[in-house]
Amino acid sequence: MARLLLLPMLAVTLPAEASEAPETCATAWVQCGGTGWTGPTCCDSGFSCSQMNSWYSHCVPKESIPEQTQPVSLAASEMVDDECYHMFSELSFNTLVQSFPANPDSEAKAYVDCKLCSRSGMQCTANVFGGRTQLVASHIHLASDGDGENGSGPPVINFCGDNGPGMIADGSSYKSPCAHYKNRAAVMSMTGNFVDGQNAGFTLGSRLKDIASNPSKYYFNFHSIASWTHWQVEGKGPVGMCRGVMQMSQRRLGSVLV
C-alpha cells in the first residue's frame, strides 16, 4: 500500500523592490552642475542653480539672480540724440537774381534730395541738367531777409565744390568735387560740411532744426564757373547758377520716421 508523504510548505519571502532614495540637493554656494558633474543638480529650497560657465554651476539665493533684460544695441543707444531730416529742393535758373547777358547756363535746372542728420552726417543726391559750364560749388544758404525764393545770404552748409585757388571759399572745405556733365546732366552724391564761420551761435543740430522748422528761409544753390566768373567781376560775390527753396519731406528721430 502506497504511503502519501506530506511535506511542510515553506513560506518564501521575496525581497521588496528597492525604492529610489530622494535626491539630495546641494546647499548654498555648493556645486550643482557643469560639464562632467555627477553630483546633485538641484538646490535646497530658496536657492537656484546658477551657471557661472560651462564647467561650473552653484546654488545661489533666488533673489540674488538678476532679471534677464533684452540687450540694447550700442548703435541704437547712440542714435537716440541723432536728429535727421529728409528734405528736397527743386532748382531752376532764377531770372530775377541770376540773369546776365549771354549766360550759357540759363537753362539749368536741378533736383536735390537730402538726408540731414546732426550726428550721422549730411548726404544729398543731385541731378543737375541743362547747364553747359562746369559746376564749381553747391551750398545750402540762409536768405538774410528770410526770403528763400529771391533773397540772398551766406552759405551755412557746403556740399560739392572746388577747393582750388580762385574758387568760392567760405572758410570750410568741400568734401568732394562736383560731378561733370555727361549728356548735359550731372548726377552726384554729396556729403555736407558745416560752415563754421557762417553759423555763429548755432550748433549743427540747432542749424538743421532751424532749416527743418523754417525751410522757406533757406535755399539750395549750385554755382558754375560761368556764373562765378561773371559775378566775381561784377563784385557781387557768388550769386549762383540755379537755386531752389528747401522743402520738408520727412523727419526722423533716431530710427523712427515721424
Query: 176 — phi, psi (to 5°)?
Result: -155, 155
If asked whether residues 97 and 39 sit together in one domain, one would say no
If asked whether residues 50 and 155 sit together in one domain, one would say no
If asked whether residues 43 and 146 sit together in one domain, one would say no
- As for how many domains the chain has, the answer is 2
If asked whether residues 51 and 160 sit together in one domain, one would say no
CATH no. for residue 138?
2.60.40
Mean pLDDT, contiguous 10-residue spans, the chain (258 residues)? 53 55 77 80 88 70 53 43 94 93 96 96 97 97 95 96 94 96 95 95 96 97 96 87 93 48
pTM of the model: 0.67
C-alpha cell at 118: 546732426
* 18 assigned to some structural domain: no
If asked whether residues 53 and 122 sit together in one domain, one would say no
> What was the pLDDT predicted at 71?
40
If asked whether residues 113 and 42 sit together in one domain, one would say no
Alpha-carbon distance of 207 to 213, in angstroms, equals: 10
> What was the pLDDT predicted at 169?
93
If asked whether residues 59 and 100 sit together in one domain, one would say no
If asked whether residues 158 and 127 sit together in one domain, one would say yes
If asked whether residues 47 and 103 sit together in one domain, one would say no
Contact 123, 191 (CB under 8 A): yes
> What was the pLDDT predicted at 11?
56
* 70 assigned to some structural domain: no
If asked whether residues 53 and 88 sit together in one domain, one would say no
> What was the pLDDT predicted at 79?
43
* 6 assigned to some structural domain: no
C-alpha cell at 190: 554729396
* 189 assigned to some structural domain: yes
DSSP per-residue codes, 61-81:
EGGGSPPP-PPPPHHHHHTTT
Alpha-carbon distance of 182 to 128, in angstroms, equals: 10
Instruction: Give the CA distances from residue 50 to residues 47, 64, 106, in Å, rounded to whole numbers and listed in that order.
Output: 9, 10, 76
What residues contact residue 110 under an 8 Å CB cut-off, 6+ apart? 90, 91, 92, 126, 127, 128, 129, 222, 242, 244
* 96 assigned to some structural domain: yes
If asked whether residues 46 and 139 sit together in one domain, one would say no
> What was the pLDDT predicted at 184?
87
* 172 assigned to some structural domain: yes
- Structural domain span for residue 221: 79-253
Contact 218, 88 (CB under 8 A): no
If asked whether residues 156 and 222 sit together in one domain, one would say yes
* 201 assigned to some structural domain: yes
> What was the pLDDT predicted at 238?
86
* 206 assigned to some structural domain: yes
